[in-house]
Chain A
Amino acid sequence: MADPTVIVDDLHVVYRVYGAGGDKGTAATALMRVFKRQRRPSVREVEAIRGVSFVINHGDAVGIIGRNGSGKSTLLQAIAGLLPPEQGCVYTSGQAALLGVNAALLDDLTGERNVVLGCLAMGMSPQETKDAYPSIVEFSGVGTFIDYPMRTYSTGMAQRLRFSIASAKSHEILMIDEALATGDANFRAKSHEKIMSLRGEAGTVFLVAHNLAEIEASCNRVIWLEKGKIMKQGYDVPGIVDAYLEATGGEPRKRDKPVDVNAVT
């Protein structure tokens, strides 16, 4: 069983950013632009992913590492089909579920409404949602806060709830974008188990994290992105992590004891 589940073929993703600098931003300059028939100078193109290709197989847990702004989150959004590619293509065996830091649920609504709406949006039926509800709330551990609007949640609580919702359904492809960064030690251990069990259910898991211990503990494969391109990728997780640490000026990791998920790098 090593069929490919995700194929990324020469992917390019471009953001168009409105309102970037380069203009005084007054009504007079805007009027002059109209007369001179200029394009808005403040529209800028940012090439976030430039020519990435790889093949991911059934049962892989892929860690994605790289500096801030190297295109990790963008890559996941493109795989999930949420950001259209400028060039190239992403092929998947099924709908990929993305769980991101700003997987904005509806902040004004209570945790309870968010659980229900999140499940329905993932395509679960009302009955399935009802059945899954208790275990989602239980797993998230937000307790009585489930009746409060989500804007009153701490960052960690909100992320825990999001993770619980997204992992309620077994996805063929689950992508987790720094979603566990602010969870406490107990929750990280729980979610680590959950990721391993999702991987056991023959799915494919992508994990973006700056916590390299987490990557080493959860992933069998790693992709190192740098400025929208792949620097290194493969199944030699410790080797690539060490190379990444060396390039970014960090200390090589010590691995004389079994890898601990909760360790801080």
Chain B
Amino acid sequence: MKERARDQGGPGTLTDELATPDVIEGPLPGESLAELAAEYQLRPSSARPGVFAYAGQLWARRHFIVGFATARNVAMYTEARLGQLWQVLTPLLNAAVYYLIFGIILDTSRGVPKFLPFLITGIFIFNFTQRAFITSSRVIVDSLPLIRALPFPRASLPIGYVLIELQQLVFSMIVLTAIVLGSGEPLTWYWLLALPALALQTVFNMGMGLFLARVGSGADDFGQLMPFLVRTWMYTSGVMFSIQTISTLKKHPTLTYILQINPAAVFISLVRNAILKSERLAWPGSQPYNAAKCALYDFKGTHLENSAYCHGTVTMNQLWLYGAGWAVVALVVGFVFFWQAETRYGRG
């Protein structure tokens, strides 16, 4: 210990160094403040931990993250008279609107064996990603008071928001199960495959949520643009039609392939194939191909390559690999990208 440390005095002591009309500007004599800090092992208050230390801090706050998500979810409907009932009513109304437009008015059911459960599954699964994206792109701006009040790893917030959406998804899945079973689809062991598919989707949403949270933390322009980007994505991901049966896509096999391996389409297909027997049987690989049904969707003799029953571009195994790949890539990239700006989020 150096001399000076001793005579700086306890509470109330007037010391020779600090008693005089003491405006300390710049370093103390003989030593810079940074050196003094190093001597007593003080750390910069806004220092960013290493990426693994950061992950550790995040894990230590897991109870906070889950508590935060649950509490927000409960609070979401406290102002409504029907209360928590909206958690079930919202997906039901969503399903009704889309069925009216795409099932009845526009009739996009071509090439799909059972359209109602096909459509509702697509909407609910896409909605999970859509809502996670939109809310996490605004999370930093929305939580500025909380960020300026309490120190905690900021990644807790986007992850918490994705968990809120996951809890909402649970209610959607209950509604979905009722609709699927009600439409005559059987309950099979394949249904269990929906769980790993949803787990992969959740990981993907968290990674992208972290990524978008940082992008959306700056100027608000991105937050305004986000709903349009997500809507475009929805219309290209086979939510309300089967990508394989769109006639304009038949001439573009590469484009069809890309559309089928985009993350939203991958997760939707995985869940559809898990809980819908009609989809699973129509998927190439589960049987050579359904020539009879394929012929029903024949256009000028090109039917062998393109329809829900007889195309052969992406197999089920490939879908699982793509799903896992998207999840891992999104998580790693999103986490590192978010972490890089950790100390800048309070600025606003």
A interface with B by C-beta (< 8 Å): 1-10, 15-16, 18, 51, 53-55, 57, 59-61, 77-85, 89-93, 95-98, 100, 102-106, 108-109, 113, 116-118, 120-123, 125-126, 149, 199, 220-221, 230-236
Contact = CB atoms under 8 A, between A and B. Distances in A.
A146 to B, nearest CB: 15
A197 to B, nearest CB: 14
B26 A84 contact: no
B44 A91 contact: yes
B66 to A, nearest CB: 9
9 contacts: A2-B5, A6-B42, A53-B33, A93-B40, A96-B151, A116-B67, A232-B23, A234-B18, A235-B15
B18 A2 contact: no
Nearest to A149: B78
Contacts of A108: 75, 78
Q: Chain B interface secondary structure, helix, strand, loop or mixed?
A: loop
Contact of B60 (A53, A123, A221): A123
Contacts of B42: 4-7, 91-93
B150 A84 contact: no
A235 B9 contact: yes
A231 B152 CA distance: 33
Contact of B25 (A5, A53, A109): A53
Interface stretch (B116-124, B140-148, B190-198, B307-315): B140-148
Contacts of B72: 106
Interface of B: 5-6, 8-15, 18-28, 32-34, 36-37, 40-47, 60-61, 63-64, 67-68, 71-72, 74-75, 78, 145-152, 219-220, 343-344, 346-348
Nearest to A107: B75
A84 B343 contact: yes
A106 B135 CA distance: 17
B152 to A, nearest CB: 5
Contacts of B44: 89-91
A55 B348 CA distance: 28
A103 B36 CA distance: 32
Contacts of A92: 42-43, 45
B36 A55 contact: yes
B151 A82 contact: yes
B63 A2 contact: no
Contacts of A80: 45, 151
Nearest to A8: B33
Contact of B63 (A77, A125, A220): A125
Given A5-B42, A125-B63, A234-B20, 18 more contacts: A3-B5, A8-B33, A9-B34, A10-B33, A51-B25, A81-B47, A82-B151, A85-B46, A92-B45, A93-B41, A97-B151, A98-B150, A106-B146, A108-B78, A117-B68, A231-B23, A234-B21, A235-B12
Nearest to B18: A234
A104 B149 contact: yes
Given A109-B75, A117-B67, A54 B45 contact: no
A126 B45 contact: no
Nearest to A108: B75
A117 B220 CA distance: 28
B219 A18 contact: yes
- Nearest 3 CB-CB pairings of A with B: A104-B145, A91-B37, A81-B45
A236 B19 contact: yes
B78 A60 contact: no
A108 B72 CA distance: 8
B24 to A, nearest CB: 5
B36 A90 contact: no
A16 B348 contact: yes
A233 B10 contact: no
A233 B23 contact: yes
Nearest to A177: B149
A120 B12 contact: no
B158 to A, nearest CB: 15
Contact of A120 (B14, B34, B63, B219): B63
B103 to A, nearest CB: 37
Contacts of B63: 120, 125-126
B36 A7 contact: yes
Given A84-B343, A117-B64, A234-B22, A55 B145 contact: no
